[in-house]
Structure 1
Amino acid sequence: MDLIALIAENAPWAWIILGLALLALELLVPGVFMVWLGGAAILTGLTVLQVGIGWPLQWGLFGVLSLALVAGWLAYSRYRDANAPQGTEPQLNARTTRLLGRESVLIEPISDGVGRIRVDDTVWRVSGPELPEGTTVRITGARGAVLEVEPVR
């Protein structure tokens, strides 16, 4: 028996199996995109199971459902992101920006533009003008994990 004829005879189940295969593919390919195509295929299969329609209309229905589900998800995710509550700690994962303005004492002199300070329980590399050990400095910026400092007058 010809494979295409077999699929044509069992069109609803072919769509449902295709949808399940796309959902399974989503487990391997991240991005939450195949979910919507798989859902559209399953909905197409269920529709064809209830209402016998020809192949051209089935493909059209699948296309429309795919676009509708993807567009609906994008609209929902944009709405969700725009209305997400702001955290109580906006700089939670930005340690260096939380340190701006703080003062500390050099535990290693700044020579050739690089030295070290201790802030709380962490030793940080700093860059700034040549300064001796024991000088009190203020953190003015950061480049990656290197803090920029200036002497406190």
Structure 2
Amino acid sequence: MAAGKSKIGRRVARHLGVPFTDTDRMIVSEHGPIPAIFESEGEDAFRAYERAAVARSVGKRSVVSLGGGAVLHPDTATLLESATVVYLTVSAEVVRSRIAGSNRPLLTDGIESWERIFAERRPTYERLATATWDTSRLPISRLADEIADWARGRI
């Protein structure tokens, strides 16, 4: 969460001349705001919507931004095992300012929630990653350039 997946992904897609998909935006357009889904239907319903969005998006020649928890479901992780996955990291110090005032449903305790969630998810992120970039210090434009250059070498 708060690593810049959507902003960087959009720029990378533009550099590569391919479509960009944000699965969280797909969910919002089809089912409403994520906090409202969590409140009225629960996290399990949200994760089901998320799995469906990922299944429709992965495997195409495109850049797809996933929500940070998407990898937690085994079916979604399996889909990603055959994809090129860029793992964007961010330090707790930097994420603190990025999540200040946010209404993310899983961050009820702010940075403490983020740190706990990240510790739980990190092994899965690392297992699925084809490549990793840290978003804590470099400008988004430079990160997008680097990732796009790397991706061109894989095509």
Which TM-score bucket, shorter chain as reference? under 0.3
More strand by share: 1
More helix by share: 2
| Higher RCO (CA 8 Å, separation ≥ 6 residues) | 2
Q: What is the TM-score normalised by the length of structure 1?
A: 0.26
